[in-house]
Amino acid sequence: MSFIKSRTIQLIIVCVVALAMIAQGAFVIKDTAYGADENSTDNLGYVDNQLMVTFKQDVSHKEAVDIVAFAVSEELLKNNAGAAASISKIKEGITLKKIKSDDNMMLVKIGTNLDEETISKELERNPDVDKAQPNYRYKAAADTDFAKATAQQTSEQQAQQTEWYMDYIDAPEALKVIEEQKNKKQQTQENQAGTESSEESNPVTIAIIGGKYEGALINNVVGKGNDIIATMPVEAEATTAGITSGIDYACSHNARIIILSVGRGGYDAALEKKINWALEEGALIIAPAGDEGIDAAWYPADYKNCIGCVNTVKYSDAYSMACRNEKSNYGKDKDISAPGTDIRITDENGEEVTGTSSSCSAAIVAATAAMVMHTDTKLKPAEVRETLVKTATDISVSDFDVYTGYGNVNAYEAVALATGVKTSAEEKTLGKTVAKAKAEKEGIAISWSSVKDASNYIVFRKGPEDDYYMQIADLNEDEMKWSDTGCAVGKEYSYKVMAAATSEDGKKIKGEGSDPMTVKFGE
């Protein structure tokens, strides 16, 4: 610890200055503007006088206190005003708590009122500190409002409202596959042993941090009283320290899936580090995309090793960007979607409530992931993630898009892939679209004939600089023409038109696309 020893003279100077300031009755006033994270879209700020500090592995507790005390005294000296104290007094106001025993990440509380971001930068100047930052605040999904169900609704209406999301993710079909595989396995074991199988169940533990209704919703998806999942609510403050401690608790209690039902707009290095660590421990991390209706960054959903979940509605057009709930966040770093609008849940008081939140979407994705893990216990988190992405129901713009990610999670397809079972459902298709295109004064006009059972028509274009066709228009069933006015003079454009429809459970029904039409726009 030569760095500390080499600063002995400076420490003496600081002590002298500090004592002089006490004699003068000086005090430090913290600039309240620093209480908010300026890079955060939600402006939640951070906890006063608390830091998240990761020290080098060989730093002892006593040395860590010395490092923090020195940084505080340096800032007091720079300010040249404030309720200054001697180094010993500064140390008395410092407490350190390890986030996990095998890591030197600590929650540091200081008794001196200084700016958290500035003191963090001062700490990072010390070679014995890896990283320092404020203890950021988060929005918790537990604060989401769920309204009581309307008493006037009939039992049939309530059942329909409850089950729509089950149909959209094909949950009943997934549960049937799981049951069939379980019975088949038991029968095989009984035949081999000659006696009835007594195999113990192996439920997948899902930890829930920051949520309130996710335990209930997950049970709705997989069914109560099953051996597929076990939910584990984890109480934690909606702060960096609280969430990271909650992740530690979840991993130490064998959680294979962790739902982080929290969010903020600002980046949090300490939390991302903990998420990366949890993945190495074998836990799949899932988080809601947020409910601000923005395409800006939202954490932890946007971290590389976290599955960010977008909220979708009960749509009737699977090709429309309106599949996403307008209040749900979206963007290039969101991964997948799931129903999260008008979701009926039974609360802790036994009352039925209805709510809309991307945290509901995260819970449904987690339930699906648990089904996959239950069917194949050897799958690693990255493999489960790949299964969910690969089998998602494509909605909105074709393939991956910023509005819905890879599409709505599909429990049936995911479980079938994990178990090696071929899906039995036959894909319904529409007829081929016959179309033509010609250059006109204002652009290129495309027209086509109607196709039976089509509810909309999709126009695709490949421009002179494009490598593939891109969806550029989604038109109603009674619209049989469209004009492309965004063409450059002298350039060639190719088009295709495809008849489309949406099944009752939200799947895309495609027709055979028209033959390619290439047109050169006027000179």
What is the number of other CB atoms lying within 10 angstroms of the CB of residue 447? 14
Integer Cα distance of 150 and 173 in angstroms: 29
Pick the CATH number of 153-186+203-419 from 3.50.50.60, 3.40.50.200, 3.90.1650.10, 3.40.30.10: 3.40.50.200
**Strand extents, DSSP E, 95-183:** 95-98, 105-109, 129-136, 139-140, 147-148
426, burial (CB in 10 Å: exposed 0-12, middle 13-18, buried 19+): exposed
Q: Indicate if the pLDDT at residue 25 is higher than 50.
A: no
Q: Where are the domains of the chain?
A: 2-137, 153-186+203-419, 429-520
- Helix, strand, or coil here: 30? coil
pTM of the shown model: 0.87
Average pLDDT over residues 124-147: 89
- pLDDT for residue 141: 86
Where is average pLDDT lowest: 40-54, 151-165, 175-189? 151-165
Q: How confident is the model at residue 27 (pLDDT cuts 50, 70, 90)?
A: very low
CA–CA distance from 190 to each of 176, 178, 193, 203, 432 (Å)? 21, 18, 5, 22, 52
* Amino acid 382: pLDDT: 97
**What's the angle, vertex CA 370, arms to CA 266 and CA 160, rounded to 5?**
90
Q: Is the pLDDT of residue 151 over 60?
A: no
Q: Rounded to an integer, what distance in angstroms lies between the CA atom of residue 135 and that of residue 158?
A: 43
Instruction: Average the pLDDT over 459-473 and give the result.
Output: 94
Q: Order of strands across the sheet with 229-234?
A: 229-234, 204-209, 257-260, 284-288, 307-312, 336-339
Q: So what's the pLDDT on residue 83?
A: 47
Taking residues 258-278, report their average pLDDT. 96
Per-residue pLDDT reduced to its tens digit, 183-216: 888 888 777 766 555 555 689 999 999 998 898 8
The DSSP letter of residue 143 is: G
Look at residues 74, 51, 108, 53 and name the one whose alpha carbon lies nearest to residue 3: 74
pLDDT surpassing 80 at residue 156: no
**156 or 189, higher pLDDT:** 189
The H or E element that residue 126 is part of is: none
pLDDT at 136 over 90: yes
6 has pLDDT over 80: no
Residue 150 has pLDDT above 80, yes or no: no
Weakest-pLDDT range from 55-59, 102-106, 141-145: 141-145
Residue range 429-520 in CATH 1.10.3720.10: no
Residue 199 pLDDT: 52
pLDDT of 19 above 80: no
Domain boundaries 2-137, CATH class = alpha beta
Least confident of 178-187, 380-389, 499-508: 178-187
Mean pLDDT, the chain, whole residue set: 86
Q: Which uninterrupted H or E stretch holds 426?
A: none
**In angstroms, rounded to a whole number, what is the distance separating the alpha carbons of residues 216 and 162?**
12
Within 8 A by CB and 6+ apart from 128, the residues are 1, 3, 55, 56, 59, 63, 67
Question: Using CA atoms, how far apart are residues 407 and 394, in angstroms rounded to an integer?
Answer: 5
Share of the chain above pLDDT 70, in %: 85
Residue 3 or residue 335, greater confidence? 335
What does the DSSP assignment read for 319-372?
Answer: TSGGGB-TTS---TT--EEEE-SSEEEE-TTS-EEEE--HHHHHHHHHHHHHHH
- Split at pLDDT 50, 70, 90, the class of 425 is low
Q: How confident is the model at residue 148 (pLDDT cuts 50, 70, 90)?
A: low
Name 225's Cβ contacts closer than 8 Å, sequence gap at least 6: none
Cis previous bond, 300, omega within 30: yes
Give the count of beta carbons closer than 10 Å to the beta carbon of residue 427: 10
pLDDT reading at 479 higher than 80: yes
Q: Which range is least confidently modeled, 34-48, 206-220, 363-377?
A: 34-48
Query: Are the C-beta atoms of residues 53 and 273 closer than 8 Å to each other?
Result: no
pLDDT exceeds cutoff 50 at 257: yes
